[in-house]
Structure 1
Amino acid sequence: MHHDLDLAFLTQRAERLIAQDGRRLLAIAGAPGAGKSTLAAALLAALPQGSAALVPQDGFHLADNVLTDLSLRDRKGAPETFDASGFHALLQRLSHNTEPVVYAPQFHRELEAAVAGAIGVPAETPLVVVEGNYLLLDDEPWAANHNLFDEAWFLTVDDVTRRERLIRRHQNFGKSSQDAVSWTMGSDERNAALVRSSASFADLIITADAPRLH
């Protein structure tokens, strides 16, 4: 199913998940720069307080020293630069919901590193919104996540807007103008092509107009 980005419509879909019994997981996937974190934040703000928590996939970035040891430093952001099995284990804990609180890591761009235990998800929180690039990949271990999501959305935006956002983001966090363009058109673009191949696994494909939610 395809739909334009409409926060009221999406909020109603999320509220239907909240109204069901037990814990529900909602995936928001999309390419780098598509606007996933902006949409997720807007969705949480629109939902009743305490009814949803946000857990980003970015918290499972491998540390830079690990990437250097694995000769993957120049591929940071690609699927193989995440602790995908650890991410899956967290999703299982969140889905099973047998613990009083589950703590998730959070990635801090200013540090270029994840901080453990930064996001607490209490058992009484009915909806967990999971946001990330690779949530719907059909390769293991990522594919094992599909059955844990009660609903999956895939967010798209035109490539010109998406690349401009990425260039600005890289510059804002310390890259030179030349390096920001090189990274956006190189590593980010390869990752975006891979992410787009997973869109068919979404229940809803959302097309975003650039000015929306910004």
Structure 2
Amino acid sequence: MPAVTSGPPADTLAALVEDARRLAARPGRTILGLTGAPGAGKSTLATALAESLGPEVVALAPMDGFHLDDPILHACGARGRKGAIDTFDDAGYAALLTRLRAQGPDEVVYAPRYDRDLETSVGSALPILPSVPLVVTEGNYLLATTGAWPRVRAALDEVWFLDLDPQVRQARLVERHVRHGEDPARAHERALGPDHANAVAVESLREGATRVVRL
């Protein structure tokens, strides 16, 4: 009896690295977006691509650097929804990607970085040289159609949507929250509450991706 298969085969890291290498070989600057629900592995894959291809080939400019600061979220009553689409500076993120698209030969662009331990953004933490051919950016809402998000999508050459089993993804989220200081009960509450709501919103956008990556 033939083996029963459950769907398309998973993408391997080696294959994804080679596909990213081909993007980097295009003339000029290429910007690759990685998106998917919280916990799908976006930052892990972005880091793996950068480490595999090296800093001369890949620079990272993650969306999470544009989290609104906690005092701002507290002031507008949104701290409990941190990570929702309206808790990011979408216009600032779009402006960064537009600038990276048109980066001059003598210009260094500095992107912000999100510190998960401090739960705050660190400005001008990631220098991006004009000689780097491939910029990888990752985040939940690259395919959103409201606010300034369409300008984000317009700056991207390709968007890969990371598809991961929901149970595995939620387990990763719980582990991440615990690793960064949450007690296990609160970590589960976040993973099944705000994180799940954000995941539903992100899943509704997958049709706008140029590729679905199954991990």
TM over 0.5: same fold? yes
User: Under a length normalisation based on structure 1, what TM-score does the superposition of the two structures give?
Assistant: 0.93
Pick closer, same or farther for the CA change 1:46–1:3 going to 2, 3 Å.
farther
What is the match of residue 3 of structure 2? Answer: none
The correspondence of residues 193-212 of structure 1 with structure 2, limited to 5 A, is: 193-208=200-215
Q: Which digits, 9 at most, give the CA deviation of each residue in 1:153-208, with x for residues without a partner? A: 00011011111111111111121211111111110000000111111111110111
Higher normalized strand content (fraction of residues)? 1
- AA matched with 2:177: H
Structure 1 unaligned blocks of 5 or more: 209-214
Tell me the number of residue pairs that the alignment of Structure 1 and Structure 2 aligns: 207
Identity in percent: 43
User: Which runs of 4 or more aligned residues in structure 1 lie more than 6 Å from their structure 2 counterparts after TM superposition?
Assistant: none
Q: What is the TM-score normalised by the length of structure 2?
A: 0.92
Following superposition, the deviation at residue 147 of structure 1 comes to 1.6
Partner deviation per Cα, 1:38-76 (whole Å, 9 max, x = no partner): 111111122144111011100000110000111101100
Q: Which moved more, 1:113-122 or 1:17-26?
A: 17-26
Q: Is the 8 A contact 2:55 2:132 kept in 1?
A: no
Cα distance in structure 1, aligned partners of 2:54 and 2:79: 40
Q: Which has the larger radius of gyration?
A: 2
- 5+ long unaligned stretches in structure 2: 1-7
Q: CA deviation at 1:4?
A: 2.4
Deviation at 1:11, TM superposition (A): 1.8
Q: Which residue of 2 aligns with 1:212?
A: none
Alignment RMSD (CA, Å): 1.3
Conserved 8 A contact 1:3-1:204: no
Q: Deviations over 1:113-147 (max 9, x none)?
A: 00001000011111100011111112222122222
In the alignment, structure 1 residue 31 sits paired with structure 2 residue 37:
yes
Q: Which moved more, 1:30-39 or 1:143-152?
A: 143-152
- Would the alpha carbon gap of residues 140 and 3 (structure 1) be closer, same or farther in structure 2, given more than 3 Å must change? farther
